[in-house]
């Protein structure tokens, strides 16, 4: 899919993340205009996330310092976990590594053979990772 500008690519990616979370039972609210500290607010049972979505060709998991600061302040104010959702190219696919397997309940969820969450397969060349910036680790939705 081709996009005329970064805003359109970013918005498309935010909608994709919302749709995936909804498939996993989350309620999501997409922020209007992508101008706030969080692109998505999501909740499931007792869990509340505020999510900044980024499309990264290289898979980096960092935000610019002011984006991270805004997300952290917002998460404290709202009582939610600050999450970065990284949509990244993943040439060869997530199953290229023999230590990854499909989840039996949700085949688009990829797990390590140990059972721990690894990522979500968007297509054969694109993956979605969730990263908790407070804990400094990947997190399962």
38: exposed, middle or buried (C-beta count within 10 Å: 0-12, 13-18, 19+)? buried
pLDDT tens-digit series, residues 67-77: 888 999 999 99
How many helices and strands (H and E) does the chain possess? 2, 9
Whether residue 102 has pLDDT greater than 90: yes
Q: Output the DSSP codes for 70-98.
A: HHHHHHHHHT-EEEEEEEEE-TT-TTSST
Sketch the domain layout of the chain as residue ranges: 6-138
126 in helix, strand or coil? strand
Q: Which pLDDT does position 38 carry in this prediction?
A: 94
Tell me what the pLDDT averaged over the chain comes to: 87
Largest CA distance in the chain: 42
pLDDT of residue 2: 60
Rounded to whole angstroms, how far apart are CA atoms 68 and 50?
Answer: 12
Q: Which CATH number, 3.40.1710.10, 3.90.1150.110, 3.40.1350.10, 3.40.640.10, labels domain 6-138?
A: 3.40.1350.10
């Amino acid at each position: 899919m081709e996009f005329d500008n970064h805003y359109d690519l970013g918005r498309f990616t935010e909608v994709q993340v919302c749709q995936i979370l909804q498939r996993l039972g989350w309620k999501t609210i997409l922020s209007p205009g992508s101008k706030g500290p969080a692109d998505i607010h999501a909740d499931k049972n007792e869990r509340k996330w505020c999510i900044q979505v980024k499309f990264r060709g290289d898979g980096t998991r960092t935000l610019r310092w002011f984006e991270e600061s805004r997300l952290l302040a917002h998460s404290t104010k709202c009582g939610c976990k600050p999450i970065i959702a990284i949509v990244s190219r993943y040439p060869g696919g997530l199953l290229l590594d023999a230590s990854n397997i499909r989840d039996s309940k949700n085949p688009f969820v990829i797990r390590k053979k140990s059972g721990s969450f690894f990522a979500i397969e968007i297509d054969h060349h694109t993956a979605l990772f969730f990263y908790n910036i407070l804990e400094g680790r990947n997190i399962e939705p």
